[in-house]
Each structure stands twice: as structure tokens, then as C-alpha cells.
Amino acid sequence: MKFIHGLSQWAEQRSAWLVLFITSFGLECAALYFQHVMGLAPCIMCIYQRTAMWGIVLAGLLVLLFNHAVTRFLALGLWAYSAVQGFLVASEHIEIIEADDPFFATCEIFPNFPSWAPLHEWLPSVFAAPGDCLENSWQFLSMGMAHWMQIIFAAYFVVFAAVLLARLIDKKAF
């Protein structure tokens, strides 16, 4: 019970949200390093995963700027939604890469962002998708980028679930 209470208490502190912000922002910086320094062109699925990670970055930033029960509640929702969406996109990306017939395993060419937020037009160096979804040249421990992103988004969701459960068990408001 001490661990649950401690986790619940920590979720009210800016330091917890700073950890969320730093880890997710660090991953965004790593993605830009892979793209602009290592020359790995992101595909549309990569860009959608990048967008989901930006949701986690914004969740952390929201509470860093305005630490209040309402903003923590909104940030938890954004964190969970972004982690789930990122996991689903990474899973779909893995299916495309591992498809038996690569002719039918394709993805979109242009990002499908809302008309009111054409991120690929506003920030093409971050959100344009010149790469191929079947490209899987980068490997670490026998896994490609999509596999690692699936693990990372799953980890973010597990941590979210632990925080939410700790808050509920400890009977605290958000």
C-alpha cells in the first residue's frame, strides 16, 4: 500500500510530469536525429507514431505549466489516448512490414491530418513522410523501429494504467 500511496502522491507533483515530458520529448529528438542526421526517411506510419508521441509530450507539458486537478485529468486522458493510438499504429506498421505479399501491404503516401491542422505543410521537416513503410533497415537487438515503438507505447500505457490505478485505489482526485 505504501507504493500505491507514494505513486498516487507523486502523480500530483510536477516532477512526475517532468519525467513524462523529458522521456517523450527525448524520443521525439531521437526521431529527428534518425531522420536528419542518420538519413532515415520516415514513412507515413512513422509520422503517425511521431504525432502520437507529441500527444504524450503535450500531456506532460500541460501539467508542468498548469498543475491542477483538471489539467492532470485532461493530461491523463491525452496520455492514454496517445499511447493507445501510437501502439495501434505501430502494430499496423509491423503488419505492413511483415506481410506475406508486399504488393498489398501499402500505406498512404500523404499524411491524413485534419484540414484545420495540416502539420505536414506547417512543419514538413518534422511531419512530412518521404519514406517507404516497407523500409526496415534500422535494427537494434533484432527488432526494427516499429517493434521498438510498439514496446515504447505499451510501456507508456502500462505506466499510465499504474498511475490511474494508484489514484483510484488511494481515492484521490486527479
The H or E element spanning position 36 is helix 14-36
pLDDT score at 42: 86
Question: Alpha helices of 68-172 — where are they, by DSSP H?
Answer: 69-97, 119-122, 124-127, 145-169
pLDDT score at 163: 87
Domain 2-102+127-169, CATH homologous superfamily name and number: DsbB-like (1.20.1550.10)
CB burial of residue 64 (10 Å; 0-12, 13-18, 19+): middle
Dump pLDDT digits (tens) for 30-55: 999 999 899 888 888 898 999 999 99
Catalytic center residues: 43, 46, 50, 107, 133
Instruction: Break the chain into its structural domains and give their ranges.
Output: 2-102+127-169
pLDDT score at 98: 82
pLDDT score at 89: 94
Residues of the chain with pLDDT under 70: 6, 102-105, 114, 118, 121, 123, 172-174
pLDDT score at 28: 95
Taking the model in full, what pTM does it have?
0.85
